[in-house]
């Protein structure tokens, strides 16, 4: 099984969710994160004190999928999350050794 971690713009979460489900992915987990990268941050000023905020609000979507679905999932996300401007984010793919469904105790690809 592969774990797809996609760091995307918060406004793209819904599109990515729909794109992923369209590829047959039935579950995923999203996390609010702050991202640092090429995209430049903004400045806040409070009574003359300037704060440069370099971390941008992003959302990380994690979906564990069967090996043979991984490519489709990546492609779906690439399509759904892209705007073409700096800050669109990254996708990282890694390997999951084992998966379990807590409700039933089952393990394996069927649990996804």
| 2 backbone dihedrals φ, ψ, rounded to 5° | -115, 145
Nearer to a copy of itself, 35 or 69 (CB): 35
Interface with ligand ADP includes 76 (CB under 6 A)? no
CB of 47 to a copy of itself, least distance (A): 21
Interface with ligand ADP includes 64 (CB under 6 A)? yes
Interface with ligand ADP includes 6 (CB under 6 A)? no
Chain mean position to CA 17: 9
Structure tokens, 30: 């999203």
Q: Of 63, 73, 77, 80, which lies in the binding site for ligand ADP, with binding defined by CB under 6 A?
A: 63
| 68 backbone dihedrals φ, ψ, rounded to 5° | -80, -5
Interface with ligand ADP includes 8 (CB under 6 A)? no
User: How are beta strands 49-53 and 90-95 bridged, if at all?
Assistant: unpaired
Supply angle C-alpha 20, 80, 84, rounded to 5. 155
Q: Of 26, 29, 38, 42, which lies in the binding site for another protein, with binding defined by CB under 8 A?
A: 42
Residue with tokens 């806040």: 44
In the complex, the residues that contact ligand ADP under the rule CB under 6 A are 7, 27-29, 35-39, 56, 58, 62-64, 86-90, 101, 103, 112
């Amino acid at each position: 099984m592969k774990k797809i971690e996609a760091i995307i713009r918060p406004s793209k979460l819904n599109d990515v969710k729909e794109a992923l489900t369209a590829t047959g992915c039935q579950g995923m987990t999203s996390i609010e994160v702050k991202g640092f990268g090429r995209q430049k941050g903004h400045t806040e000023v409070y009574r003359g004190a300037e704060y440069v905020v370099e971390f941008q609000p992003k959302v990380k979507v994690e979906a564990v999928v069967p090996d043979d679905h991984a490519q489709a999932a990546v492609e779906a996300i690439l399509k759904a999350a892209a705007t073409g401007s700096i800050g669109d984010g990254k996708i990282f793919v890694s390997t999951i050794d084992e998966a379990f469904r807590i409700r039933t105790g089952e393990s394996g690809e069927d649990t996804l």
